[in-house]
Amino acid sequence: MDHRKLGRNPSHRKALMRNLMNALVRSERIVTTVAKAKELRRLADRLITLGKRDDTHARRMAFAMLSDKENTDKIFAGLAGRFVNRHGGYTRIVRTGYRAGDGSDMAILEYLPSEEKKAGAAKGKKKGAAKPGVGAKGAEKKAGNAPAATKKAARPARKASEKEKTAKEKSSERKTADKAGRKDSGGKTSPPEKKGGAKKTARKRTASKPD
């Protein structure tokens, strides 16, 4: 047999294939039986081949297969341009299981998605895998990839610098507090008390007492 009969006479089978082709071109995805999908795949790929030719004779042949002007224009305007870099294999069949009524083997027939997105993703990966640039970004990447020993050695220096900063801040706060106290007292500063003052006064009092 040259093709599947599908339980139909030639005219009925031709009308069935035309309707399935129009549905596939319109929605780019249909659900049908596996036998019909395998038979329709040959015609669907032929339509894309005609669309890639894009001449008057190819348009007439596509219109003879579809009998629909909108779908014919869609093939030559959109679908054919999607497969410029592909030579055959424009459709795929995905089996979905068995039909509940009669147990027929069902499948999804669809045109392959555009490959422009895949090409853009591959270019993005290549750019990300390139060598790090010279400058601030490259220095940051090198610092991020530095060994752990150098990072540990840099930690004590950071802690020492932080301690120095805190000491300077505390001394500056003390100076500002002293200035504020002087202003409140009218500019007069009391002399600092000596530590041994209390002991000397106690000795004098004990010496002045009579025996």
The pLDDT assigned to 19 comes to: 97
Nearest to 93 by CA among 46, 43, 51, 32: 32
Give this prediction's pTM. Answer: 0.55
Assign residue 68 the CATH number of its domain: 3.90.1030.10
Judge whether 25 lies within some domain.
Answer: yes
Inform me whether the pLDDT recorded for 91 exceeds 70: yes
Inform me whether the pLDDT recorded for 145 exceeds 90: no
Distances (CA, A) of 40 to 2, 125, 137, 151: 14, 37, 55, 65
Domains: count for the chain: 1
User: How many angstroms separate the CA atoms of 192 and 98, rounded?
Assistant: 102
Judge whether 92 lies within some domain.
Answer: yes
Judge whether 94 lies within some domain.
Answer: yes
Judge whether 15 lies within some domain.
Answer: yes
Domain that holds residue 16: 10-113
Judge whether 118 lies within some domain.
Answer: no
Inform me whether the pLDDT recorded for 68 exceeds 50: yes
Distances (CA, A) of 211 to 160, 199, 204, 207, 208: 63, 21, 14, 9, 9
Strands 91-98 and 105-111: antiparallel
Judge whether 167 lies within some domain.
Answer: no
Which position has the token pair 């083997």? 105
Judge whether 130 lies within some domain.
Answer: no
Distances (CA, A) of 90 to 49, 60, 82, 93, 115: 9, 21, 9, 11, 12
